């Protein structure tokens, strides 16, 4: 599975689905529909006929589509990469993916983590260089956005999601989401799933550059100005292209959240006493993942599945964590917990 996932990182979604032995499908394809029926639901074929086959009804129920969802679409293919969509109570579109698809996408990111950790010092040095440029050119503003990703671990944002759901990530923030006071930078906004975020950091240089961005016309906070004095917004594709250009590897903005979540678990485990039993090990792992979830603004389940490298828990349960994951002083462009994580990942290959 891991070899397939690694290849899928650089493929388009349809090719990635094929490698996972799944069928790439969208909810534009006619599928099953759910209708309220008394205290429960009935399920119907695309032509309106009732789904009566017990096996088919059992499969649909196994998807555990939340009762509150409206306008529910269910894939006609059990091997579809996308199994169901619907609108939640606030009208936001939600998705249920095939477990193999979710595992593949997560495994691809996890596989990148050792290389990402090795690339971080060079990337951070390039950010410092680009931030030192004059004006509000493309490279400087992209360096600003990537530096904020590195510091805050916030989601990068998607323009379509912001438009449809009035929820935001870093590249879709508006000036109204920003509060500046001297060197203090505070972002307050509604993120994915309607969760409220308040992010605060202190950095005089970044604050000064963000203030200049805020002074530009338009609602978008992060814009760059080209040589013709034309303004351009920044989106996730720009950020990912910058990361690829600087590192020479297909890293994406999500790598920062996965790296940061894993680092948070390493830090938390080092603050806890070593476990004496298997039960204590599981309890400490739960505590550490909870710390990472709060850092990222995710649920514990989502954090464990998507943002914490599985090698950490494997080494911890095997009693090898403290030997492989030593905390030493920084100095090479990585914080002590980052270097410790990199050592663990390299030893676990």
Domain-embedded: residue 104: no
From the list 164, 165, 203, 162, the residue with the least C-alpha distance to 186 is 203
Whole-number pLDDT of residue 232: 92
Above 90 in pLDDT, residue 105? no
Domain-embedded: residue 109: no
Higher-pLDDT residue of 119, 105:
119
* One domain, residues 181 and 239: yes
* One domain, residues 270 and 236: no
pTM of the model: 0.74
What's the CA gap between 76 and 45, in Å, rounded? 9
What's the CA gap between 145 and 272, in Å, rounded? 34
What's the CA gap between 23 and 254, in Å, rounded? 25
Q: Look up the CATH number of the domain holding residue 194.
A: 3.90.15.10
Out of 152-166, 191-205, 278-292, give the one with best mean pLDDT.
278-292
Q: Look up the CATH number of the domain holding residue 32.
A: 3.30.66.10
pLDDT tier at 18, thresholds 50, 70, 90 = confident
Q: Look up the CATH number of the domain holding residue 321.
A: 1.10.132.120
Whole-number pLDDT of residue 216: 94
What's the CA gap between 320 and 310, in Å, rounded? 14
Q: List all residues 6 or more positions away from 296 whose beta carbon is below 8 Å from its beta carbon.
A: 153, 257, 260, 261, 264, 303, 307
Above 60 in pLDDT, residue 6? no
Percent of the chain with pLDDT over 90: 71
DSSP summary character for residue 177? G
What's the CA gap between 341 and 262, in Å, rounded? 8
Above 80 in pLDDT, residue 121? yes
What's the CA gap between 263 and 330, in Å, rounded? 14
What's the CA gap between 318 and 313, in Å, rounded? 8
Q: What is the pLDDT of residues 133-189, one digit of tens each?
A: 999 999 999 999 999 999 999 999 877 767 777 789 999 999 999 999 999 999 999
* One domain, residues 200 and 221: yes
Q: What is the pLDDT of residues 55-101, one digit of tens each?
A: 999 999 999 999 999 999 999 999 999 999 998 876 767 889 898 88
CA 239, 240, 243, 245 dihedral sign is negative
What's the CA gap between 326 and 291, in Å, rounded? 19
Last residue of a domain, one of 97, 113, 146: 97
Domain count, the chain: 3
Domain-embedded: residue 15: no
Whole-number pLDDT of residue 9: 40
Domain-embedded: residue 102: no
Burial class (CB in 10 A: 0-12, 13-18, 19+), 312: buried
Above 80 in pLDDT, residue 330? no
What's the CA gap between 228 and 222, in Å, rounded? 18
Task: Please compute the mean of the pLDDT values over residues 210-229 and round it to a whole number.
Answer: 94
Give the structural domain span for 328: 254-347
Mean pLDDT score across all residues of the chain: 90
**Which tokens sit at 146?**
């990537």
Above 60 in pLDDT, residue 249? yes
**Which tokens sit at 210?**
């963000």
Answer for the pair 157, 173: CB distance below 8 angstroms, yes or no: yes
Whole-number pLDDT of residue 89: 79
Domain-embedded: residue 179: yes
β-bridge partners, 186: 179, 200
pLDDT tier at 293, thresholds 50, 70, 90 = very high
**Which tokens sit at 123?**
């990337």
Whole-number pLDDT of residue 2: 30
| Buried residues in 246-267 as b, exposed as e (16+ CB within 10 A) | bbeeebbbbbbbbbbbbbbbbb
């Amino acid at each position: 599975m891991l070899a397939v996932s690694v290849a899928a990182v650089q493929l388009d979604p349809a090719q990635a689905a094929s490698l996972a032995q799944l069928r790439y499908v969208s909810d534009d394809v006619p599928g099953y529909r759910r209708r309220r029926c008394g205290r429960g639901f009935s399920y119907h074929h695309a032509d309106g006929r009732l789904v009566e086959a017990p096996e088919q009804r059992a499969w649909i129920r196994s998807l555990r589509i939340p009762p509150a969802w409206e306008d529910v679409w269910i894939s006609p293919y059990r091997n579809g990469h996308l199994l169901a969509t619907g609108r939640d109570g606030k009208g936001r579109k939600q998705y249920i993916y095939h477990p193999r698809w979710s595992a593949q996408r997560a495994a691809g990111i996890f596989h990148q983590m050792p290389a990402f950790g090795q690339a971080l010092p060079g990337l951070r040095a390039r950010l410092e260089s680009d931030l030192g440029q004059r004006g509000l050119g493309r490279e400087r503003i992209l360096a600003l956005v990537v530096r904020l990703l590195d510091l805050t671990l916030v989601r990068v944002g998607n323009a379509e999601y912001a438009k449809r759901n009035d929820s935001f990530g870093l590249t879709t923030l508006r000036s109204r989401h920003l509060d500046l006071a001297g060197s203090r930078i505070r972002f307050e906004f509604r993120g994915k799933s309607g969760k409220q975020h308040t992010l605060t950091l202190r950095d005089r240089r970044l604050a000064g550059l963000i203030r200049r961005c805020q002074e530009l016309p338009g609602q978008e906070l992060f814009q760059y100005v080209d040589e013709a004095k034309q303004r351009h917004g920044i989106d996730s594709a720009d950020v990912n292209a910058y990361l690829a250009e600087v590192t020479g590897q297909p890293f994406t903005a999500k790598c920062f959240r996965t790296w940061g979540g894993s680092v948070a678990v390493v830090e938390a485990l080092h603050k806890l006493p070593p476990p004496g039993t298997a039960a204590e090990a599981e309890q400490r792992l739960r505590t550490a993942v909870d710390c990472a979830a709060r850092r990222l603004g995710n649920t514990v389940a989502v954090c464990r599945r998507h943002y914490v490298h599985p090698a950490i828990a494997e080494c911890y349960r095997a009693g090898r964590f403290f030997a492989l994951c030593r905390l030493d002083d920084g100095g090479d462009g990585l914080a002590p917990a980052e270097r410790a994580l990199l050592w663990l990942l390299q030893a676990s290959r």
